Structure 1
């Protein structure tokens, strides 16, 4: 609470000064009475019957769908970029992962790469005020010039330079209560000038959690004996996260922009777990990580974009484990660390040619050095134990070349095609891959858009998952690394049709070779369950998507999203139980906004999500869903917003997993309070218009 008071006091002082300046600027002119009389006369002469129109929230621009985000979320209790992206048509949040057309989507800021892990992406987007977003460009197949492959969403944010000098900002704080409390704070400042602008963002989150796992398992060994492995796990956790971002832009000359960004993040977490039953254990673990990134970019008016960035990431951890299983026991203190040094250089050139032709080409080079270790010690003597220690120094290099062409054939048809060639080099792999991309857009009439997208992609494994390491969750459960993991290659095609600028219908097909996935396996040699990442032969998915918005007068604004798809996953060398599994399933979401009052501005939202059964390797995932409600009050001429909400009203979003395949028999019943009652408040001062910086790629960090 002390941190909240300091934050509010600091920004309150700034707000008082800015508000005083605003009051001077909004004084009425001398002829204001005449203006009012004139407007009133217009109202008196209007006919009794009026025809009102509705501006479309989406339009097509050469291979991408452009959404007017302020209009899309204007009536929703949305206060950050993550919630704004979730409300884009076709985007759903499945198990805390953003998906577009049934596939993971890459978020890009102002056309620059932002490939993040799920956790990093969520934290980033939740720290960005929604008021910064001008529009969202949705691409089911990103052209090579973005240096992103597969589905992509580009969030375009306002620029600060070229304006009269001003200071603007926003305050935000939120509190939520599940089993324990959680807290979020955010403060933003932007200085804008004619040639120079600087923006500062600080965000802090704190949360505690309690997770319970009731495991029911039958473990069959090679000798035919069957062992009942029931156990009850209670894990308590606490997390702190700080993020600070400072960015500066300077216009060297007209359309010559130099940008420098420094980003740092600090996270610490603590976990305490107790297990009783077939296994009895106590685990006390602690971890913290820090991220530092410096990025320099330059843009020229003749289409050149070039830049360099350096990232330093460090993630040390410590675990004290005492566990017994029958006559066997584990008693150790482990220390591990992952340290990444990563450099990235890129340059790209775009040309506008005659007769609506466009040409682009460029290259990117990335090199990363991963220094990691995991050591086991005797907790009494602190002596190094002889087994399962790992120390690794691993270098990775990626070289990418791309070229693309775009062409508009009149006002109705446009095409954008590109090809990228990429070399991936480690001490195990050294191979070239080619990634073709194509987007074709046809607009037969106003408000009607037909789009065909073809894309290819490669997914690289996380750095830690390819280490030759073994981690323990107890005497019965262990996590093994896989140094032979291959990058996965994905091919996808999507056909979309937009009707009247708002109804979206899509059909898609996706095929992923060497799909990487972590699964569970009960060893027939000993009483242990192993979690390990494997490359499947392939994973494929085909589906249909429909997005149907509708309104009832001015009091209800709703949108239904339905996705039906077919899964297939195959692995012919998965331990001793190869599988080829298929499943038909669907996902339904519905967003409803009720306008309770316009004066005062009071809105109520009710959002529902339902996912039918799913599969993940040999895992079976049951049905799940949630119902969220929120009440939003906007006041102080739209600058202040107070939101009361309850997420997951019926506490139904947590799913339990089941493995019943061959001799594998495990039921994990996860019990966690996900019903959250919360309140949030945010205040904008100085007109608040700010840009957001691109993020650092931490998707493969531990």
Structure 2
């Protein structure tokens, strides 16, 4: 009996070993059993189980989804999202451990993070980049590289997430593709359609992507304000704002790679988008107002890359962006009237050129250096036209604005990496940068150090020291005044806004290739954010970007997965942050504020059935109250649910979802500081949706880099 038992074990082990050698390491293999599922907001490395069984014997093997390389954590992102209702690259990035979405942006360990495709940093803004990520099928992702501290050779400072897209050359030519459709209901309806096609040849490959997003929007905002003025008077202002909008966005991209020889490649990619937005806003209460706004956006981005087998990389990129808009406003408040028509436009021309070289010196040593030159010209204007000239009621209409503003950035960097055996490695670099605008002309230097120690298989310690600079949006530095909320709210530009300088130390520990723990401290000099201030001279509230003395954060984070047999996977993520901000010259009310807050996210993924493939995901998030400048941010929470059904031999996926089931996700920020007293109650609606994805032609996908548009209007 014992002999038979041990023979069974031996045969089972041989079967597992042979199966692992014969099967491709792909999340799309038909005979693989994928058993991972993680959170909608913060996720971690979960493990895929592959097992073979004999009578009375079962062996379960797990393969880690995260591994460490020099200065980075590499995640098998397709496995990590394999059972989740994730259908685009943006939502896939949110599944990485430590990644959260706050205020419409992605954060890594509480800090801003740059997302790039295939290691290529482009000149699109963050908003345009996120739109592009939402248009890329999640099935095209090969892996994700997470760097809490990116070395200078990546041409990015600070935290970086590099999404590598699947590529295929060699062998017979093939066509693959994917179509996608989505309907959502959030008070009003919205739609997404997407089509993707890729061609793989022996030396040449190309891909095409088109997406269309459109629908209607609806919002309600109740404002309560006690507006104090310098003469000692106090005005009670209560308004009810109703906003309706409709939008259309067309995004498209075409890319091509030509392999001249092994590791000798010429690449080109074009990204474009066109969008229209129309809104109607009516305000009732202390202020009576109606506003009609229209805007259009055009984006054209082209990039050419050349890579050689001896470590040389060169590239050039051109970005053109144009955003004209108009606004017709009529407002009456306490006897004062505004009636005008506004036309404004932002036009950006930006060029980027880079040259980089890497050397493998042997004995674990590597050397890299390069130069990056970026220049941009911002042509912007804003014109006001009085529509009620007879009454002369528009005495407070601001002056017209027209500007031509040029920026130049020249960056030189050098770095090295060294492996000290199999357990310890180091990556260090130094970048020197010259930044020139009409307001600033300065040199800065940015050191970066990464240490990685792997004492045992599945255990990783990473220590990162970094520095970074955050540049303001183009429109934020224009000397312009715009109207918001019917005229009571004004948006002011700040031509003297400084770039923020950030310094950070981060310690990360990976335990058993799946438990992630991290601690960090960040000091940001000249930190800036848009804040509200109730004017002491006029009945207006002013939104303006201002530089603080500093912002500081210290934080702890833990991401812990659990498995309950084969039917339930849970992931718990806990984040604790100490937040400190100080500004000695914030209007007439300097502040020095600090607070501790926490975030908890729990994701439950239930395997309801394997045949048919049916899975249910429940996600809950809770955040305690926090602060931003003089804002008090109340606590918030949400519960999301999604049902995923796979059919047609894995080629089709149907997702049904409901987000923010209890309508608790939207915060209601308020200010109770010094002379400032205002509360904004924003509407919150649950969202229902259904999406269908269908892949054809085998679909061995690929994709390309993103474009940085974070600073455009």
2:483 counterpart (472, 475, 495)? 472
Give the corresponding residue for 2:10: none
* 8 A Cα contact 1:107 1:115, kept in partner: no
Q: Deviations over 1:261-289 (max 9, x none)?
A: 11110011011111111211110000011
Residue 282 of structure 2 corresponds to which residue in structure 1?
274
Quick check: 1:564 aligned with 2:576? yes
C-alpha change, 1:618 and 1:427, in structure 2 (3 Å) is same
Tell me the residue number matched to 2:303: 295
1:23 equivalent in structure 2: none
Could you give the per-residue CA deviations for residues 275-308 of structure 1, whole angstroms, max 9, x where no partner exists? 1112111100000110011111100000111010
1:642-693 deviation per Cα after TM superposition (whole angstroms, max 9, x unaligned): 11111111111111110000010001111132x1111100000111122212
Deviations 1:590-640 (A, max 9, x none): 111100000010000001111111111000111111111011110111100
Quote the Cα distance in structure 2 between the aligned partners of 1:266 and 1:563. Answer: 38
Asked if the contact 1:239/1:269 (under 8 Å) is kept, the reply is yes
Contact 2:129 / 2:707 at 8 angstroms: preserved in 1? no
Instruction: Give yes or no for the alignment of 1:391 onto 2:402.
Output: yes
- Counterpart for residue 57 of structure 1: 65
Name which of 594, 599, 609 aligns with 1:597.
609
Counterpart in the other structure of 1:641:
653
Work out whether 1:229 is the aligned partner of 2:237: yes
Equivalent residues of 2:122, 2:317 under 8 A apart: no
- Tell me if the contact between 1:136 and 1:155 (Cα under 8 Å) persists in the aligned partners: yes
- For 2:421, the equivalent position in structure 1 comes to 410
Distance of 2:487 and 2:270 partners within structure 1:
43
CA distance in 1, matches of 2:487, 2:74: 53
Q: Distance in 2 between matches of 1:621 and 1:274?
A: 26
Question: Counterpart of 2:61 in 1: which secondary structure?
Answer: coil
| Among 333, 341, 348, the residue aligned to 1:333 | 341
Most deviating of 578-587 and 259-268: 259-268
Q: Does 1:201 align with 2:202?
A: no
Q: 2:175, 2:384 → 1: CA distance?
A: 53
Cα deviation, residue 575, structure 1: 0.4
2:569 counterpart of 1:553: no
**1:313 matched to which residue of 2?**
321
1:165 aligned residue: 173
Q: 1: CA distance between counterparts of 2:104 and 2:439? A: 33
Deviation at 1:381, TM superposition (A): 8.0
Aligned mate of 1:176, from 180, 184, 196: 184
Of residues 622-631 and 93-102 in structure 1, the stretch that sits farther from structure 2 once superposed is: 93-102
Q: Does 1:495 align with 2:507?
A: yes
Deviations 1:444-502 (A, max 9, x none): 00111011011111000000000000011233211110001000000111101111000
Per the normalisation by structure 2, the TM-score is 0.91
Q: Secondary structure at the match of 1:54?
A: strand
Q: Please tell me whether the aligned partners of residues 520 and 530 of structure 1 are also in contact (alpha carbons under 8 angstroms).
A: yes
- Match 2:225 to one of 217, 224, 227: 217
- Determine if contact 2:597/2:624 at 8 Å carries over to the other structure: yes
Is 1:420–2:431 an aligned residue pair?
A: yes
Indicate whether 1:142 and 2:150 are aligned.
yes
Q: Secondary structure at the match of 2:60?
A: coil
Say which is worse superposed, 467-476 or 404-413, in terms of deviation: 467-476
Q: Name the CA distance, whole Å, in 2 between partners of 1:699 and 1:653.
A: 25
SS in structure 2 of the partner of residue 353 of structure 1: strand
Go from structure 1 to structure 2 and tell me whether the alpha carbon gap of 1:593 and 1:642 turns closer, same or farther (over 3 Å shift): same
What does residue 14 of structure 2 align with? none
Post-superposition, which runs of at least 4 consecutive aligned residues in structure 1 deviate over 6 A?
Answer: 380-386
Alignment partner of 1:82 is 2:111: no
SS at match of 2:487: coil
How many Å separate the matches in 1 of 2:513 and 2:542?
A: 50
Tell me what 2:549 maps to.
537
Post-superposition shift, 1:541?
Answer: 0.4
How far apart, CA to CA, are the structure 1 residues paired with 2:639 and 2:535? 39
Structure 1, unmatched stretches of 5+, are 1-25, 27-41
**Which of the numbers 108, 111, 118 marks the counterpart of 1:110?**
118
Shift of 1:112: 1.1
Q: Determine whether 1:345 maps to 2:357.
A: no
Q: Distance in 2 between matches of 1:63 and 1:47?
A: 45
3-state SS of paired residue (1:672): coil
String of CA shifts for 1:392-415, please: whole Å, max 9, x gaps: 000100000011100000000000
Contact 1:502 1:549 in 2 (8 A): yes
Whole-angstrom CA distance in 1 between matches of 2:130 and 2:317: 22
> Could you say which residue in structure 2 is the equivalent of 1:628?
640
Counterparts of 2:678 and 2:160, CA distance in 1: 37
1:380 Cα deviation after fit = 6.4
Which of 331, 337, 356 is equivalent to 2:364?
A: 356
Shift of the 341–575 alpha-carbon distance from structure 1 to 2, 3 Å rule, reads: same
Task: Look up the match of 1:19.
Answer: none
2:505 and 2:171 map into 1 onto residues whose CA distance is: 43
Are 2:102 and 1:94 aligned?
Answer: yes
Per the alignment, residue 484 of structure 1 pairs with 496
CA distance in 1, matches of 2:171, 2:165: 15
Q: Identify the range of structure 1 (151-160 vs 120-129) with the bigger mean alpha-carbon deviation.
A: 120-129
State the shift of 1:379 in Å: 3.0
Give the conservation status (yes or no) of the 8 Å contact 1:462–1:701: yes
Of residues 199-208 and 690-699 in structure 1, the stretch that sits farther from structure 2 once superposed is 690-699
Q: Secondary structure at the match of 1:369?
A: strand
2:695 corresponds to which of 684, 692, 695: 684
Aligned to 1:453: 464
CA contact (8 A) 1:210 1:672 kept: no
Cα gap change, 1:439 to 1:43, in 2 (>3 Å): closer
Please give the per-residue CA displacement for 1:402-436, whole angstroms capped at 9, x wherever unaligned: 11100000000000000111110011100011111
CA distance 1:387–1:451, change in 2 (3 Å): closer
**Equivalent position SS for 1:121:** helix
| 1:670 equivalent in alignment to 2:678 | no
2:652 pairs with 1:661:
no
Over the residues paired in the alignment, what is the CA RMSD in angstroms?
1.7
